[in-house]
Structures are given as C-alpha cells and as structure tokens.
Chains A and B, each alone.
Chain A
Amino acid sequence: MESLVSLNCAEQVVCSSPSPNASIWQDILAQAVTGELMAAMNYSALSTICDDPEEVADALEHAQGEQGHAAAFAAEGRKIGVDVPNNINARYWKRIREAFMRSIAERDFMACLIVQEIMLESFAVASYTRVGKAAPGSLGKTFAAIAAEEEGHIEHAMEILRAERARDPQRFDDKVYRLHLEVMNTLTEMVAKECRHGQCDLCHSSCVKPSLSEVGLTTVELRGASLQQYLKTLDALGLPGEVTLQWVAQLPV
C-alpha cells in the first residue's frame, strides 16, 4: 500500500533481518502511524480556530509532537525490516477525521479537544501501553514511551475541559455524548474482534486481528483496556459514572 504521507526520518536506522512476526508488527505500526499523522493534522487544523497566539503555538507544537511520534513508529518499522504504510483515508480513520473536521468547521474548540484528547488519546494511551508490554526490544520501548507522552497530553487538556464543564455541566455532558456517538462507535468498530464490514484499508494483506495472539496481544485486551481508559478519563472529567457506563454499554461489539 502506498503511503499518503511521507515520513522523512533524519535518524540513521540500522535494519536487522525481518523478525518472524514482522508482518504483524507492520500492520500494528500502520495503525499507529496513521493515528499519529491524523492527530498531527487535527492539531494543525485546531491552530486555525484558536484566537490566542499562545494557543496557536501550543496546537502547532502538539502537531509537531504527533508528527514526531509517527516518524518514530516508522523508524521502528525499518528496524525490523518493514516499510510502514499510512492512510488517513482508511475506512475508520477517515470517519474519525470527518467528525473532527465538523467541529473545526463549527469553530468548536472544546469539541475538538474532546475528540482528540479524550477519545482518540484514551485509545492511543491504552493500546500503546499494551503493545509496549508485548513488543520486543526498542519497538516495545517506543510504544511505551509514546504512551507516556500521550498521557501527558491528556492531563493538560483535562484542566481546560474540567473548567469548561464546571461552567455548565449539563451542556458539556450533552456535547460529549453527541461526540461520543460520532466518534466512539467508529473507534469501537476498529477494535472489535472482527472487521465485519470489510477491510480496514491498512492491513497489508488479510486482517491482522486473528494473528495478534502470535505477538502476545488480543483484540479483547486492546478493546477492554481502551474502553476502560476512556471511562476513567470521563470519570476524571467529572461525568457521572452511571451515565458514561450506559454510553459504553450501548456501543457496538
């Protein structure tokens, strides 16, 4: 698959001979790189609706950071002898991007933060942490390190969102629910046990999900950890647990 975005890596990379599970890691990395590139694009778009120069600078800095994560993942691919594709127009990512861009079109800064920092980053932190534990050597370390960095992002955004919620909790919660329906249905389909609606447009041949157990991962674990992280993040924002539990229970399986 041809990458839509090229990732130039200044770092000198020494390629080892392909690992036996290289093709599985290639597909996992393709999702990670695409997610990071989309995050970079989301932050760039966010900078265009910020009024405060400080906020613009912050958003652009975040965009650069996410671009760096994508490059780091791509470099890890080269180390195990695979070329990592990316495709922000892939089935699920495209839908998520469209949801984010609707918030940009509405110049809704808080909605953008909710999608990127609460929903997408919850999934990134939880799944990278799991992959970080399962992946060997520097690949695992890179996933773990990026998971920790993304967690830092969430904390920063949480302060802003908590303050926003305190102003009008009901209005804020209604907005989160609307975005939840737009984005979380897609994210949970992505981590469902099977891709029932066809290819995700990122796996290099057949769907990688059935092979995840060969590298010590399962979709059950990735889905469970991601939804758990999402619920905990919503708890930390102050949304009532009985409400968010219902939201998550109603997601597709």
Chain B
Amino acid sequence: MGRAAASVTALERRTLERRTEVDFALIGHQESWRSAADVLAVLRGAERARLPDEEIREIFPWIPPRAVCNVEIASATGAKARGLYIDCFIPPDRLDCDYLHDNVGRVRAAAACAINRGARIVSLGGFSSILIEGNFDQLPERSGTVFTTGNTLTVAFIVQGIRKMCALDGREISKSTLLIIGATGDVGSGCARCLTPFVKRVMLCARNAERLRTLAAELEADGSEVEIATRLDQLPFAADIVICAASLASPSLRLGRIAPEAIICDAGYPKNLNPRGDMTDARVFFGGLGQIAGGLSFMPDFKGVLNRHPFLDVAHGCLLEGMALALARRFEPFSQGRGLITRERVEEIETIATLHGIHLAPLFNAEGPLEGMRVLTSNKRPEVGFAPGNLK
C-alpha cells in the first residue's frame, strides 16, 4: 500500500492551508447543561429529536475540543472578519478544582485546534483564559497565532455598565461604596483600577490575602480609601455598587449585607450570584457584554444558542476583544497575564471596539431587559429561559 501514499505537492498544501485559515478563533465552554443540550440540538438538526438529558450528560464529556461553527463579524466600517467558535466541551458540572488538570488539557487541545486552523488571534472565554493568565508554558507550540484573554474589553464593558446603571437610576457614583468580589483576578483588579478614583471608597474581597494587600497598596497610593477582606462578612460597610467577578464553578454566591437598592453587576462566567439569594430590592444586571452594530453570524446557525442573551448580536467582552482586534487587523496579544489591566489599556481597547461598532450591550438580567432596544424576537432562540446560569 506504500505507493498510494504519494507525496502532497507544495501547491496542494498551500491551497489547502489558505482555504482553512481564519482571522480569529473564540474558545469557550458551556456553563449549563441546558446550553450544552441546545448546542447538541442544533448539531442534530431540527428533524431529529432532542437527546434526552441523560444521554447528553453521558455523551458530552467524550467530545474532544473542536470547532463547532464558523463565525463572521461585520464592522461599522464595512470590514468583515471570519473566525471559528471552538468549544472545550468541559462538562458544565466539572468546572471546579477537582477537574482542573483535565480542563486545562481540554483548553490546550482547543488552543491547538485554533492554531491548526490558522487563526491569527484567539480569544479565551470563561475558564479557558487560565491558559494565559500566568500559565504561558501551557500554550501549545504556535507560530503566527496570538492569544488574548479578552479581559480588557470585559473590564471596559463592566465599567461602562456600572456608569450607565448609575445614570439610569440617578445615582452619584462619587458618593458610592464599591465592592469588588474576585478583586485580585484579572477582571476584578482591572475594574478596581478603573473605578476606584471615582467612588467614595472601595472594598476588595478575594481569597488571597497577600494579593489583596498588594492591590490595596497600589490603589491607596493614589489616595483612595480601600478596605480588604477574604470573607464578605468581614467587610465594614454596606456596599451600594457591587461587581461580582469571581471564578466560581456555579452560581453560588450569596452577598449578605449590601445597601438597599444596591446596583449589582454579575460579570462571572458561570454567573456568580445564587439565584435564590435574597436581593429583592437590588438592581442586578449582567455585565461585561457588548453588542456588534454590524452583526454577528454563525454557520451553522447558533444565534441565541452560543450567545444566549435577550438582545441581538450580543457577546462577551472577552470574545469581542479578539473580534475587534481582528477587524482592526491588530493581531497582538492585547490582554495577557494577570493584574496588568490599566485604565489606559481599557481606553485603548474601547477606542478600537467603538471604531468597529462594538458597544456596551443593552442592560439585562435574569428577568429580562432593563432597557428596551433590539430585543431578540427570532424563533431561532430555542427554549432559552431567563434563568441565571444559562444566559451567557
């Protein structure tokens, strides 16, 4: 059978490579079994019955990380960029530390997939950003592909969302006490740097006391009032603006003491807030999301499935960062490492995103939109319930 293995000509190889190259790749994972089931339902096609939940839980963990669909994004300038969505196929109930090794392996395989497909820039969504938040050695061999966590644009949209919510509610941000949960993470610390100069005081909560002290010292050097705590119940004041940006395996956070009618931004993926938490009077919104004026399309059509939001063409800032940079033809590792997001970098990515028609998404939460515009009415959004845990 040896002779059949005739060598591929260089021309054939180049043609093949050109055909498969893409501008960007988005790496992500599903945050709930409901969203995993919807992804499989689209793949099976409308003519086949949905798989029973039990089958989905049995099949899903065996799927190797791979491209799920092609993505195209259009800029306000008329430019377009082509990409891929690659899912790590991490089972949604295995996002905790017990599965860390396996999950990092899945993200690496997804990254290798992006490299093999010739993606010039790769955005790492949700858990997958772990790969370049200080673990650069975990990245597979690559040439011509750069990676970004996308966290800078996420921070930009969280900060914009807080400002917008304050404006909608007639709050003065300068008189507010800001609490950031997950404050020493890349997103949390970026938000702290952007918002601390504008609030009355800031409270930082995270598990690592040493990192908390370092961040507090940095912020205090600018003359800000900063409190730190490793547990929420240690905090001395009731916050009236809260940013939840912790890495949690499931929506399990209960806030405890917060000011009546506090503004809460849940920016976690998976969501941070426990849906049963008592926040009757709080003004909760899901943060870190942007909307693409020029449109976002998937092939096959995963609209409303991969981006489970009540508005059209909405996606997470972390994924939008890679797309914005691809539209700007700036194939650079814009966000890497941990704790390096500054106000200047946030402004820079905001400028790039704005130029291409990528703006803060209309605000919404588990109950639905908090303001009315371009609500998704298409019937292509299969059984998406507004329940926390399935809205990303």
Give A contacts to B, CB under 8 Å: 50, 52, 54-55, 58-59, 109, 113, 156-157, 159-160, 162-164, 166-167, 169, 220, 224-225, 227-228, 231-232, 235, 238, 240-242, 244-246, 248-250, 253
A159/B5 contact (C-beta < 8 A), A231-B63, A242-B67, A242-B70 known: yes
- B378 CB–A CB distance under 8 Å: no
Q: Is the CB of A242 within 8 A of B4?
A: no
- For chain B, the bracket of interface size reads 35 or more
Across the interface, A55 reaches (CB within 8 A) one of B4, B59, B61, B66, namely: B4
A163/B5 contact (C-beta < 8 A), A240-B20, A242-B68, A249-B43 known: yes
Q: Is the CB of B5 within 8 A of A241?
A: no
**How far in angstroms is the closest Cβ of chain A from B48?**
6
Q: Is the CB of A163 within 8 A of B67?
A: no
Contacts of B68 in A (CB 8 A): 241-242, 245
**How far in angstroms is the closest Cβ of chain A from B182?**
32
Alpha-carbon distance between A248 and B43 when the two chains are bound, in angstroms: 9
Contacts of B66 in A (CB 8 A): 231, 235, 241-242, 244-245
Chain A to chain B: the 5 pairs with minimum beta-carbon distance, closest first: A241-B66, A224-B62, A249-B43, A166-B8, A242-B67
Alpha-carbon distance between A246 and B300 when the two chains are bound, in angstroms: 10
Contacts of A241 in B (CB 8 A): 66-68, 86, 113
Q: Is the CB of A58 within 8 A of B1?
A: yes
Of residues 38 to 72 in B, which have CB atoms within 8 Å of A's CB atoms? Answer: 40, 43-45, 48, 51, 55, 58-59, 61-64, 66-70
Q: Is the CB of B58 within 8 A of A224?
A: yes
Q: Is the CB of A231 within 8 A of B43?
A: no
**How far in angstroms is the closest Cβ of chain A from B93?**
16
Contacts of A250 in B (CB 8 A): 43-45, 48
- B7 CB–A CB distance under 8 Å: yes
Q: Is the CB of A245 within 8 A of B43?
A: yes
A-B contacts, 11 of them at CB < 8 A, read A54-B1, A59-B1, A160-B4, A163-B6, A166-B8, A167-B8, A169-B19, A231-B64, A241-B68, A241-B86, A242-B84
Contacts of A157 in B (CB 8 A): 1
